[in-house]
């Protein structure tokens, strides 16, 4: 599902804004369709105001990345549990774990714990970007 979301996002953002100018198009005879095709875009933007003033693609990409981070965090949580001595389903390589200072036989699943922590940071970053953009006038972007 994450890959399908990314493909949908790519389809929505793979549009060429060139030729939109400063909110009102441009006075030059630019073949925007041909330019977009030459540059590898799927389409051109239909609205010049939206093309230069919209930042939805940033929020949408960051939300997608945060959602993937959340899924990885959930997987990491399961792997932490399954690598515990009580379960013992997963054995971590020394490359992905450190020893405990109190219990030398114990392996701390550092890499999985870092994934869990970064997922929270990613979710917070989405909120920061959204908060930054929600009150900005379109004409001042």
Domain boundaries, the chain: 1-53, 55-141
Percent of the chain with pLDDT over 70: 96
Burial of 53 (0-12, 13-18, 19+ CB in 10 A): middle
Q: Answer yes or no: is pLDDT of 79 > 70.
A: yes
Mean pLDDT of 86-92: 91
The neighbouring-strand residues paired with 36 are: none
What's the pTM value of the predicted model, to 2 decimals? Answer: 0.81
Greater confidence, 91 or 53?
91
What is the architecture of the domain spanning 55-141?
Up-down Bundle (1.20)
- Would you call 98 helix, strand, or coil by DSSP? strand
Q: Which CATH architecture has domain 1-53?
A: Orthogonal Bundle (1.10)
pLDDT surpassing 90 at residue 40: yes
Do 11 and 42 contact (CB within 8 A), yes or no?
Answer: yes
Q: In the chain, what are the helix, strand and coil shares in percent, each to the nearest 5?
A: 60, 5, 35
């Amino acid at each position: 599902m994450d890959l399908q979301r990314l493909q949908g996002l790519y389809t929505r953002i793979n549009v060429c804004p060139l030729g939109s100018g400063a909110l009102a198009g441009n006075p030059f005879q630019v073949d925007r369709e041909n330019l977009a095709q030459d540059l590898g875009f799927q389409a051109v933007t239909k609205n010049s105001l939206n093309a230069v003033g919209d930042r939805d693609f940033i929020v949408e990409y960051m939300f997608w990345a945060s959602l993937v981070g959340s899924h990885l965090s959930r997987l990491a949580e399961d792997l932490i549990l399954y690598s515990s001595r009580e379960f013992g389903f997963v054995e971590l390589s020394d490359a992905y774990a450190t020893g405990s200072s109190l219990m030398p036989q114990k392996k701390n699943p550092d890499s999985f714990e870092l994934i869990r922590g970064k997922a929270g940071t990613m979710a917070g970053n989405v909120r920061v970007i959204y908060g930054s953009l929600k009150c900005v006038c379109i004409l001042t972007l």
